[in-house]
Structure 1
Amino acid sequence: MIPIRSSRPDDVPALFAVWLAAVRSTHDFLSEEDIGFYADLVRDQYLPAAALMVAVDGDDRPVGFLGMTGSKIDTLFVDPAWHGRGIGRTLVARALEGGPELTVDVNEQNSAARAFYRRLGFREVGRSALDDSGRPFPLLHLALDGASQGNPTGA
């Protein structure tokens, strides 16, 4: 079982390290300049302000996190060293505790994320040519009706 707790202000450096490692591992369509642009926003604005669900290791070090607004997953990142251990699935299952429906936007070029959400039962419901920052990285809008899709933990 992966422990999940709420984020704390002192988590920001570790959460940023998780974000950066995950982006470098899964977002090969971004240039270093693009990563720098998003890194400034994530480190300086998003992480300090967001209330996140944080997956931690046995020493309480963050290894993944999920942020939400209402029933929309805003962000889900897992340290690449921890990929394949059920952390993302566990975080999504915890998100479903707030209600049976979830939505998420995923970069169209991020095939690993698309496959992950598809395995959990998310389906495409729309597409945007630009990301939330107005940059040319198309987003797929996905939705999960947890009531009809079953349990993303596989239980």
Structure 2
Amino acid sequence: MIREYKPEDLNSVMTIWLQGNLQAHDFIDPEFFKQNYDLVKMLIPMSTLYVQDLGGIKGFIGLTENYISGLFVDQNYRHQGVGEALVNKAKQRHNELLVHVYKKNTAAIDFYVAQNFDIVSESINEETNEPELLMRCHVEHNVKIGKCAL
């Protein structure tokens, strides 16, 4: 079940955040994520968060308006549709989604391409000095228009 984030979810979300970053970004010094842990913990509640709750938090997506500020899935629940469900939740709320992905994180790039994201540009992340891609998905919402009698 995907639901809105609650304050009591914070520790589970942060555990998934740290483990996910350490696993997906082995090209970045692990100390970078450990040093940013407290800052992220403070900022998380300022984003719009949705969690996949399957008798415990198995993944989450953080949104700052239409920008995906984070998408993380517990390693034991990857490749089971959790990430796709979370992205679809975001797609229900926005006409366009944007996300930055490290160029070396090919699994994430492949995931977003499968979710109909396109690569828009490439830049260097100022904090890590690593190349990253800006990806965008245009979302078409089907709106049913009823017939009106004049």
Aligned mate of 1:14, from 12, 22, 27: 12
Conserved? CA contact 2:103–2:133, under 8 Å: yes
Tell me the equivalent position of 2:22: 24
- Deviation string for 1:90-115 (max 9, x for gaps)? 01111011133211111112111111
Tell me the equivalent position of 1:41: 39
* Pairwise CA distance, 1:135: 2.8
Aligned mate of 1:146, from 125, 139, 142: 139
Structure-to-structure mapping, 1:5-154, within 5 angstroms:
5-43=3-41, 45-57=42-54, 59=55, 61-131=56-126, 134-147=127-140
Secondary structure, counterpart of 2:135 in structure 1:
strand
Secondary structure, counterpart of 1:147 in structure 2:
coil
TM-score normalised by L of structure 1? 0.83
* Pairwise CA distance, 1:38: 2.7
Structure 1 or 2, whichever has the larger Rg, is 2
TM-score normalised by L of structure 2? 0.86
Q: Distance in 2 between matches of 1:145 and 1:50?
A: 21
| Count of residues paired in the alignment | 141
Identity of paired residues, percent? Answer: 31
* Structure 1: tracts of 5 or more residues without a match: 149-155
Secondary structure, counterpart of 1:34 in structure 2:
helix
